[in-house]
Amino acid sequence: MAVKIIFVTGGVISSLGKGITSASIGKILESRGLKVTLMKFDPYINVDPGTMNPYQHGEVYVTEDGAETDLDLGHYERFTSSRLTRFNNVTTGQVYYEVISKERRGDYLGKTIQVIPHITNEIKDRIKKVAHVSAADVVIVEIGGTVGDIESLPFLEAARQFRLDAGYNNTLYIHLTLVPYIKVAGEIKTKPTQHSVGTLREIGIQPDILICRTEKVLSDEIKEKISLFCSIRKEAVIEAKDVETIYQLPLVFKNQILDEIILGHFNLICKSSNLADWEKNVVERALNPKDKVKIAVVGKYIGLQDAYKSIYEALIHAGIANNAKVEIEKIDSEDIEKCGPEKLLKDVRGILVPGGFGVRGVEGKIKAIRFARENNIPFLGLCLGMQCAVIEFARNCCGLKSANSSELNASTQYPVISLIKEQKNIRNLGGTMRLGTYPCKVSKKSRAFKYYGKELIHERHRHRYEFNNEYKKLLENKGIVFSGIYPKKNLVEIIELKDHPFFIAVQFHPEFQSKPDNAHPLFKGFIQAAIERV
Ligand code: GLN
């Protein structure tokens, strides 16, 4: 069977949920027995988002192979069973980098290098490569940005050309638009959608399916109107009304037989779908929690919903696993610096300190961790969160008053967190951290083992600094348990405290592997401990 390619574009405005839409399409196709993979095209010139501020870009999602990618890849992995690599996220920067390198090598000798065909060919080759390497039946390609942006034109042009190469029944164009409800007029408006489809047509793409984001139900009449003006069959005008949980979206699509419409276009006959487990174990549990638990996330990128995306999702998954609704209280660590932890943290049942870079807000995180440790509040520290827990313990329990990380104070007297040899001579900042999956050995008697249930685990990393083993004995004598080690380099991966309801901090990012129907064991244990704390 020839591989099938689905292009997902967006129109009218950004932030319509193209990533979740693409992931949900992946889910319903997977439920029909197809092997899917997903790609994200990002029209910016950075090679990857690794060096961008989270306020610019949101979370940087890390794949198993250590690529720093767009956060939509997180949605893809959470909704489907696809495992993504560095080839699944393509940026304009990567494409030009490759084409210019080839030009310098002389690969195009004698030719003038142009957007068409050289850039567009490079983009198409990347789709073919992923199709080949993944051996997927269907590749879903989400094109970032909004139709009409200058930046995304080469990607859209490559998508247009793809149908010429691969054939009508092997390519499908899905366009996501906004159908706004105008309150003062009391009406739903289709004009922005008509314009957006018009713009896409000017580029040479006639969408086969339209997915309409809306606050209100779309009447038959509205669907007919959209169908007529946009030249799309009425049943292929899909309503995507706001949902309570994003995990409902595959069911919303399924109810409108989106999977059948897609399979019909591809001339595919597949087994019938089974989303019953997803509905029962994810959606119904998310919508009908028996308990409620308030968890503080103490970070410095609190203002942006997307900056800690995978962490928030992992907390939701852990809630689902414990039949509880997790209410996330986002607390700016600089506010803790200003008014102390008591006021802001007194009524939370768990405290999570996420990863981060740089000195701003760190003292607030350290105060929050001390508060959790001294008041027996369940605590989960991730990456910088673990480093802060080490600093806090060294300062307040081991008498090393000025302990710090050498990232935060290069001349600290007690660098309990520092650079290992390999990192010391690195000059380039892009793609040079400890990145991707590493094995970790969990000690059998630890709490971590109780949650993981196994000795050998694999978790994803994204950091430069490490626990400084010179301080290991001292901290151990004062009560820290070093319960997870990367054996090959003897690097500390997990620390915990014994006499505490839940105090675990990890150098890696467990949030990247949590799934709605398979919550990460540490998050699950953390939420369980938080529920048990009365
Ligand atoms: N800034 C720290 C380091 O580079 C932690 C990174 C993180 O939390 N992702 O080691």
Q: What is the pLDDT of residue 274?
A: 87
pLDDT tens, 428-482? 778 788 999 999 999 999 999 999 999 999 999 999 999 999 999 999 999 999 9
pTM metric for this prediction: 0.95
Q: 427: pLDDT confidence band, cut at 50, 70 and 90?
A: confident
pLDDT tens, 259-279? 999 999 999 999 998 899 999
**What mean pLDDT do residues 31-42 have?**
97
Q: Is 384 in the pocket of ligand 1 (CB under 6 A)?
A: yes
**What mean pLDDT do residues 382-392 have?**
98
Q: Is 407 in the pocket of ligand 1 (CB under 6 A)?
A: yes
Q: Is 465 in the pocket of ligand 1 (CB under 6 A)?
A: yes
Write phi, then psi, for 239 (nearest 5 degrees).
-90, 130
Is 511 among the residues known to form the active site? Answer: yes
Q: Is 145 in the pocket of ligand 1 (CB under 6 A)?
A: no
Mean pLDDT rounded to a whole number for the chain: 95
| Residue 52, pLDDT above cutoff 90 | no
Q: What is the pLDDT of residue 534?
A: 67
Q: Is 357 in the pocket of ligand 1 (CB under 6 A)?
A: yes
Q: Which atom of ligand 1 is nearest to the CA of 356?
A: 8
The CA distance from 80 to 25, in Å, is 9
Q: What is the pLDDT of residue 53?
A: 84
| DSSP-assigned beta bridge partners for residue 467 | 417
pLDDT tens, 477-529? 999 999 999 999 999 999 999 999 999 999 999 999 999 999 999 999 999 99
**What mean pLDDT do residues 335-341 have?**
94
Q: What is the pLDDT of residue 178?
A: 96
Q: What is the pLDDT of residue 54?
A: 82
Q: Which two tokens stand for residue 80?
A: 């489907």
CA of 358 to the centre of ligand 1 (A): 8
Q: 84: pLDDT confidence band, cut at 50, 70 and 90?
A: very high
The one catalytic residue in 212, 383, 398, 440 is 383
pLDDT tens, 228-270? 999 999 999 999 999 999 999 999 999 999 999 999 999 999 9
Which class for 534: exposed (0-12), middle (13-18), buried (19 or more C-beta within 10 A)?
exposed
Which class for 311: exposed (0-12), middle (13-18), buried (19 or more C-beta within 10 A)?
buried
Q: Which two tokens stand for residue 405?
A: 């990380």
Pairing of strands 491-497, 480-486: antiparallel
Nearest CA to ligand 1 atom 3: 463
Which of 374, 375, 355 lies closest to 365 in space, CA to CA? 355
CA of 432 to the centre of ligand 1 (A): 12
